[in-house]
Structure 1
Amino acid sequence: MATRQQELDRIEKSTKDNAQSIQTQQLLLEENSNHVKNLQIQMAEICTQLREMKKLMLHNNRGNDQRLVRLGRLDFPKFNGEDVEGWLYKCDHFFSMDKTRSNLKAYFAVVNLEGPALQWHQGFMSSQNRVIEDIVWEDYARSILNRFSTRLSENPIEDLKNLQQTGTLQDYCEAFDALLNKVQLCESYAAGLFIAGLKPEIRCLVKIFKPQTIRDVISMAKQQEVVYSTLFGSKDVRKLNPIPMNKIGANDEEEESTPEEVINVQEMTMDPQIPIHVINGVPSFNTMRVIGTI
């Protein structure tokens, strides 16, 4: 009996020791699980920081390193006080291609000023209580535009409506483009304004085709200008000088004329032509309507 009781005590003690060991292992497992969770959280934070650093590095490279590479290949437009509107347009296009930061736009523009433009800039900066990096490019562009712009018109739409072709078609196109760049109009409306300003002999022919784009209007106007100049261009027609009444019936010696005054009527004869005004039904100073019956 004593031996069996000792065996039972030994088994009970071993069971208690195993239970304590199991509890200890469970506590260790819980601690390890907490450590693993903490490590996962730290890894997630590290990954987030790495992504932010990558984005920042890409932004810096795009804003600085790549920009410097492009500056070596692209020439920033110079400005000496002439055609300020065209210069500002080139600057905006350059900034868009170069992805220049806003606080550096005016800084880069100043380096490319020359002559009167550079003198104006020096006076402009002396009246400012800021450094060039703090000046907004839009404000700087408005200031330099007000100083050097030669376009005094305040209503470009009204000027477009009143614009009329008085010289060549090329001069009219250049004047129209200069005003059109200052407004935003739909293309069909701009095409109508362009047609309205053409010379009558070109306008009436272009309107027949009803073009809706500036490209088509200019192309048709050029074609009609060539056609009109071909049909009704300047011709070298010699005029007959009237004979005074006191010389009628005079002798042959008095009636003789110099060779330069002799006109060959046969050389002046022309084949009959039908003007294009008649074909199109457009009244003109050299057309005549005749009503008749057969």
Structure 2
Amino acid sequence: MSKHQSALRDLQSIQDFIRWTYSRFRKSDIFYGHGTDNAWDEAVQLVLGALALPLDFPVEHLSSRLANDEKKRILKYVDRRIKDREPLPYILGEAWFMGLPFKVTKDTLIPRSPIMALLENEFQPWLQQYPVNILDMCTGSGCLGIAAALTFEDAQVDITDISDAALDVAQENIAMHDVEDRVTAIHSDMFNGLAGKQYDLIICNPPYVDADDYQTAPAEFHNEPQLALTSGDDGLDFTRAFLAQAANHLHDNGIVVYEVGNSEIALQEAYPDTPFMWVELENGGNGVFVLTKDELKHLTQE
């Protein structure tokens, strides 16, 4: 008898399936890093997500018995997670960011940017004025730009991406969070679709993973769109072009908040005279810097 057949026969309740899934994850070599950091939380999220139940589902109801089709759905999801190494948010079609749900597909990165910590503090102390115009470049699912619009309720936000498929997902998230009047999705290859536009705040979580890091990354990351992850051998192809143009798209007193992750060292070596303000991130993560318009001017190409 297969594992699936015995699970269908012997497991009855929600808690049975959480325990069983936890055991399967413990015996596997899956990587945690797309929403949870351990096997138990991953098991809970998978089982409850498969049943369309909230994470705060009452403990006293975890003994509820499951229908056969619900059991089969859980088993299918567990297989996808272990055998295909799919990140759980892709399996469930949803990720959480700043306490907000966002639709995700394999056309979008799974939201996890440490820029979230700065957004929660409204980019203080770096932002000198209320950001009336905000740009979220390389938006993917739209999570950073939409969260910015919900944080700065009087701001107009443009969210851009080179991927039409990602922008389709972002548009659905704009509608889900009811910010159609303030958030505009724009197809743009970097600044090419933004001629004449300037902003008080530019947020960017671009592709920055270097070739070696990508090749050695856990299989889960190879399920994400490579276009949104890699950018040349040292991970800085996109960033070099961005830094050469960004000042032209900032208002006076405007700032850029930008993520380069582990490519931080390579960036500092490439731009030894640029005064990157590296942000200490309370919740972990690295490679987020802030630059002002004045600091960007000497890098700008007209």
The answer to which structure has the higher strand fraction is: 2
TM-score (norm 2): 0.20
The answer to which structure has the higher helix fraction is: 1
Which of the pair has more CA radius of gyration? 1
Q: Which has the higher contact order (CA 8 A, sep 6+)?
A: 2
